[in-house]
Chains A and B, each alone.
Chain A
Amino acid sequence: MKWIERQRAFMDYTLSSLWRRKLRNLALLMVYTLVIFLLSSVIFFTDALRKEAAAVLEAGPEMIVQRTVGGRHSLIPVAYAERIERIRGASSVRPRLWGYYYHQASRTNYTILVPETFSGPDDTVQTGGGVLRTWGALWDGRMYFRTHDGNSLFLLPTSAMSDGADLVTADLILMSEPTFRKISGVPEGHATDLVVRVRNERERPTVAEKIVRELPDTRPILREEIARTYAAIFDWRAGYVVVLLGSAVLAFFIFAWDKATGLSAEEKTEIGILKGIGWDTSDVLMMKFWEGAVVSVSAFALGAITGYVHVYFASASLFEHALKGWSILYPKFTLRPQVSAYQLAVLFFLTVVPYTLLTVVPTWKVAVTDPDAVMRR
């Protein structure tokens, strides 16, 4: 009890001391909170996106086989499918037809795709959530397309894809195979790529090797590679966002170090007086420890709370511009709220611990000097 009362007395003194220089300390608290807010937003956002990508794309194709010509993706002859089917381990092969369509009026890129079974007539399309939002004017309720040979094609949007699926389907336009070939110019007998099913998960790399041996101009992409691509993109420790943020955090610590090492004459006198009236070095250090802890714990709590609100209530609107880049179409999505103890521990050790140490070390230098010398200076 005595120990707790002693610490509370230190805290009382520290808070009064902070309040005496309230403008400076409030400014520091704001900057510190902002740094933690940005860092926590990045950690929460990238982690939620990474988990979403892993959960959603787990259901994707097991293997895609592309054909490359001159190092670039090229159309694949459908006849390749038969040769792959003969490889032991490959249970089925399906040609996939998809491509991009640039709509002049809205200056937007859309993904056009032929599903395995398209139920509507040839002059209809199914659209993703963002398509009609960005497409612009319709002609008599129909969407205007320009085919690969320059002709006009008017297609009726029949139904939109289900709600809440923007993150995977926002820019998709589904159509029948003949319509796709008319628009894209992909000739009969060719497809964009092939989807290969391999039942045994452990056989996939072997099947991929066999495909490359059999068809040297192809490039198989495994589902695991797709998952790794997304895991790498949304890894907060490696993303370029953190490199940029790192400089902001570094700037903040330089600022904090500067503030702490350049103890003002007033603060030095205060330490001298405290030592003069009987405080020993450990008491002064404890007082400074509380000063650092009060500021950093407050900033940590406020920064983490605002970061969470930003990502999960405001859909990370500050990052939207960075993610959107030059694109017109941006999906509307909500991420599953989740915060792990690991994320909070990372945040805590990246911010609170270094700051508290930074404020204690320079004080120790002053606190160990003779009080008389400190007060005379």
Chain B
Amino acid sequence: MTVRRSTGFLVFLLGCVLVMGGLFVVHPLIGGEEYARGLERRRQLVRDLGLTDLCLFTEARYTRHLSQADLHSAFQDHPMALEHFPSGSLVLPPPHLLEGGP
């Protein structure tokens, strides 16, 4: 007896749904407590040390502390100095510029 093609596809689809369920629903529950402990450790350090930023882009001082940087850090070196660090291209202009406001 030959298996219908649609049966094969539906089995494949069911497999995908099971894998997605395992990844999207079950996996986040595993290690949840450990993550919560880690998050509390990080929050404690942020509280104790008075930290303001994530340590993601360490290449330039204004990308290391994005929230503390000068408002015109792209021109900080001299008036014609344009942004030249790659992470600068990942960071958006301030919201008021995007909204077209003053």
Contacts and interface: CB of A to CB of B under 8 A. Distances in A.
Interface string B72-102: 1000100000000111011110010010000
A79 B7 CA distance: 78
Contacts of B1: none
B64 A111 contact: yes
Interface string B49-70: 1111111111111011111111
B5 A11 contact: yes
B6 A229 contact: no
Interface stretch (A205-213, A264-272, A328-336, A353-361): A328-336
Contacts of A228: 95
Chain B residues touching A, majority SS? helix
Contacts of B50: 60-61, 94, 96, 116, 195
Interface in B23-75: 23-24, 27-28, 35, 38-39, 41-61, 63-72
Given A8-B4, A233-B66, A330-B58, A58 B43 contact: yes
A226 B56 contact: no
Interface string B12-23: 110011011001
Interface residues of B, number: 59
Contact of B48 (A11, A116, A331, A334): A116
B84 to A, nearest CB: 9
A299 B93 CA distance: 34
A325 B19 contact: no
A304 interface: yes
A115 B57 contact: no
B54 A230 contact: yes
A127 to B, nearest CB: 13
10 contacts: A9-B6, A11-B5, A57-B52, A59-B44, A111-B65, A241-B90, A294-B9, A297-B13, A298-B16, A322-B86
Interface of B: 4-6, 8-9, 12-13, 16-17, 19-20, 23-24, 27-28, 35, 38-39, 41-61, 63-72, 76, 85-87, 89-92, 95, 98
